[in-house]
A and B are shown apart, each in its own frame.
Chain A
Amino acid sequence: MFKRLAGFMVLFHALTAWAGEPDVTEIIEKANRAAYYAGKDGRADVAMKIDDGKGNIRERAFTILRLNTGEVDQRFYVYFKAPADVRKMAYLVWKNPGREDDRWLWLPALNLVKRIAPGDKRTSFVGSDFVYEDVSGRDLAADHHELVETTDTQYVVENTPKKPDEVEFSSYKVWIDKDTFLPRKAEYRDKSGKLYRRVEALAVTDVDGYPTVTESRVQDLVTGGSTLNAFSNISYDLGLVDKIFTERFLRRPPREIR
C-alpha cells in the first residue's frame, strides 16, 4: 500500500514538474503557510541561547501557543519560564495583518495586564537576534518578490521592501525547500549591499504530519553574535480555543503551557 502511494507521489511530482514550476506568489504563500500556519493551532517549548559574540551567554525559556483564527489572523500566547526575573510573565499578541497588532503583557508581580504600544516589528525579540517578524511572520505584501533561482531541491526568492525607510535591510534572499515549502535560510543585506544577517532552520522533522523546524539560528555577521532556538514538546491541533488568548488566561496561565 505504502509503496503504491509512494509511487503515486513520484508520479504526481513528475506531473507537477511537467506542468511547470509554481510562480513566485504561490511559492511565498505556501512558504508562509508552512512556516507560520501549520495545523489549526500549535504549541512548542522554546529554549533560546543568546551569544553576544563576546563570550556572554544569556538564556530564555518559554512556551508558545498559537491559534489560527482566520485566513491570516492569528493569536499568540508566550509564557516565560526563565530567566528568573521574567518568569511567569506572559505576552499576548493578536496578529491583525493589514493593521497594527494588538499586544498585551502580563506582569505577575503587579498583577497587571499592560497594553503595549504597537512597536517596530524589526525590534529584537526578548533581547535576542530574532526580531518580532521572525517569530510571527512578515507581511507578504510588504515586499516585492522575485524567483531568482530554482535548484533541484530549493526555490530561491529575492525580496525587496516596498518601504525601504521602515526596515534596516535593503533586501533579503530566502531558500525554500521544494518538497515542504519550509524556508531553510534567509540572508539579509544592509543598505550598502553587504551581507550582515543570516537566519537558518538547522533541523527539520515531521511532527503530526507537519514538517517542523526544531532548531533555528540567527547570526549577526557584524558583531559575531548569534541566537539559537531549540524547539521541543511540539504538537499541533490540540484544540486550543480563542478564549485562551484573552486577559483571563494572562492572569491565570492555561494548562497547555505546562
Chain B
Amino acid sequence: MRMKFLVLLVWTCALMGGEAPFGFEAHGFFDVRAGFRLQNDATQRDTSLAESRLQLDLNRMGEWTTLQIRGDAVYDDVIDDRDIDLETGRGWFDLREANLLFSPNRSMDVKVGRQILTWGTGDLLFVNDLFPKDWQSFFSGRQTEYLKAPSDALMMSFFPSFANIDLVYTPRFDADRFIRGERFSYWNGNLGRRAGRDAVVAVDRPDRWVDDGEWALRISRTIKGYELAFYGYDGFWKSPAGQDPVRGLATFPELRVWGASLRGGFGKGLIHAEFGWYDSRRDRDGEDPTVGNGEIRVLLGYERELAREFTLGVQYYLERMLDYENYRASLPAGLVGRDRNRHVTTVRLTRTAMNQNLTLSLFGYASPSDNDFYLRPSVSWKVTDAWQVFAGGNLFGGSRDHTFFGQFEKNSNAYGGFRYSF
C-alpha cells in the first residue's frame, strides 16, 4: 500500500512539470492495450492481452553519478495473480531499471543494479546476447522493448586504447520469461500434444546467489567504421533446455558460449554477421536425453534503404546441433525429435510516412526446415507529440505441431491500444 502511495506521489510530481524532488527528472507513459486470439484455444482464454500500464522513469544526473529508476505499475487482466515477483515480472509492479552509473576513473564505467542489457548484431534474433528475454511480452503485442527483461547485475566497462571491454556479472541467474503455458499454449513433448493452462511448465531454476551466477564478456573495437566483437558467456540455458524426469521439472542446464560478430557498411547498405558456439557443458557428448545438446549458431544479415523512408532488412540464421547422432540414439522412444539444422530467414519492411508520424512495419520469421512462420505486422500513428495509437498482430503457423513457431499456432492474436507519454 505504501508503495502505491509513493508511486502516486511521484507521478503527481511528474505531471507537475517533469521535475520531481531531490533533483530527479521524472517522465513516463500511460499505456493501454488489448488483444484477442484469432482462433479458439481450448487451453487458454480468448483474450490474449488486456492491460493498463503506468511507467515512471526517474533519472538523476549528478556530477559523478547517474541514478536511474524505471518501473511499471500494471493492471493485467489475463493473469489474475497480483502478487509481485520482480524476478519473473509477475504481479502489479514490474521494476525495469534501478541502477547507479559511475566512472571510477577516466577509462572505466560501472553500472550496478537492475538494468536492461543488450548486445550483438541480430535483429530480433540473438546469438551472443544471453541476457534475459521476455517471450511472453514479445508474443502478446507489448511494445518491442519488453522483449528485453531486466537483469540484476554489475556491468563494468573498460576503455583502454585498443578495445572496449564489457564484463557483466549477474550474481544470481536471470532466466528468460519464457512461454510456460499460462498465457500461451506450447508443445509439451511429454504429453505429445499442445498444452496450456492445463499443464503450466514447472521449473527447477538455478537460484543460489554466487553459485548460480552468470558472467558475460564482450571485447569490441571499431575499425574504419566496422565493428568487430568477441563474446564469452558462462551460465545456463536461458529458457529450459533440459528436464528432471523424476520430479517432472524443466531445467536450465549449464551453458558456455563463445562467439564473434562483425557489423559495418557494405555498398549502400549495412551487413552483420555473428557466430556462436553453444557448449552445453552438462552433456558434451550429447548422450544425455535430459540435457539439450550443444549447438553452433550462425547469423547473417543485410539492411538497406530501398527508397526514401522505406527500409528492407533480411537475415539468415542457423542453429546446428552438435553430436546429432548421439542425440538421435538417446532420444526416448515416442518423443518427436528435432532436425539437425534449424534454418530461419527473416524479413523486415519499415515504411514511414506523413512526416514520420505514421509507421508501417512487417517483421516475418520463416523456417524452411521447420516449415513454420511467425509474422509481426504493425501500424502506429503519432496523433500528437504525446498521444500514440497502434495496432498489430502476432501470427504463427506451421505444418507440424512441435516446431518452434508451429507450436504457437493457436496463439495467433491481434491487438491494439494507445499510449500517452509525458
Contacts and interface: CB of A to CB of B under 8 A. Distances in A.
Interface in A93-129: 94, 96, 99-100, 102, 107, 109-112, 115-120, 122-124, 126-128
Contacts of A119: 305
Contact of B27 (A84, A115, A247, A255): A84
Contacts of A50: 355
A87 interface: yes
B2 interface: no
B305 A120 contact: yes
What is the interface of chain A mostly: helix, strand, loop, or mixed?
A: loop
B263 A115 contact: yes
User: Main secondary structure on chain B at its contact with chain A?
Assistant: strand
Contacts of A134: none
Contacts of B385: 58-59, 82-85
Contacts of A102: 225, 265
Nearest to A122: B308
B75 interface: no
A52 B384 CA distance: 12
Contact of B269 (A96, A118, A122, A247): A118
Nearest to A121: B308
Contact of A252 (B63, B101, B382, B421): B101
B159 A117 contact: no
A144 interface: no
B269 A117 contact: yes
A130 B121 CA distance: 30
Given A84-B28, A111-B116, A119-B305, 19 more contacts: A84-B421, A85-B388, A85-B419, A94-B225, A96-B225, A107-B145, A109-B145, A110-B118, A111-B117, A115-B272, A117-B303, A117-B304, A118-B269, A118-B270, A122-B308, A128-B355, A248-B109, A251-B157, A258-B61
A87 to B, nearest CB: 6
B356 A110 contact: no
Contacts of A117: 269-270, 303-305, 311, 313
Nearest to B66: A252
Interface residues of A, number: 42
Contacts of B308: 120, 122-123
A248 B164 contact: yes
B41 interface: no
A102 B223 CA distance: 12
A173 B336 CA distance: 70
B interface, size bucket: 35 or more
Given A110-B118, A117-B303, A258-B61, A87 B225 contact: no
Given A110-B118, A111-B117, A58 B384 contact: yes
Contacts of B381: none
A110 B164 CA distance: 20
Interface string A219-258: 0000000000000000000000001001110011101001
Interface string B89-118: 000000000000100000001000001111
Nearest to B385: A83
Interface string B224-244: 010100000000000000000
Interface string B266-298: 001110100000000000000000000000000
Interface in B200-226: 220, 222, 225
B355 A52 contact: yes
B40 interface: no
Interface string B62-73: 010010000000
Contacts of B115: 111
B135 interface: no
Contacts of A84: 27-29, 385-386, 421-422
Given A85-B421, A87-B27, A123-B309, A247 B164 contact: yes
A112 B118 contact: yes
Nearest to B18: A84
The 6 closest A-B pairs by CB, nearest first: A84-B421, A127-B356, A83-B385, A109-B145, A111-B116, A127-B355
Most buried by A among B63, B303, B309, B356: B356
Nearest to A247: B164
Nearest to B96: A109
A112 B121 CA distance: 10
A118 B268 contact: yes
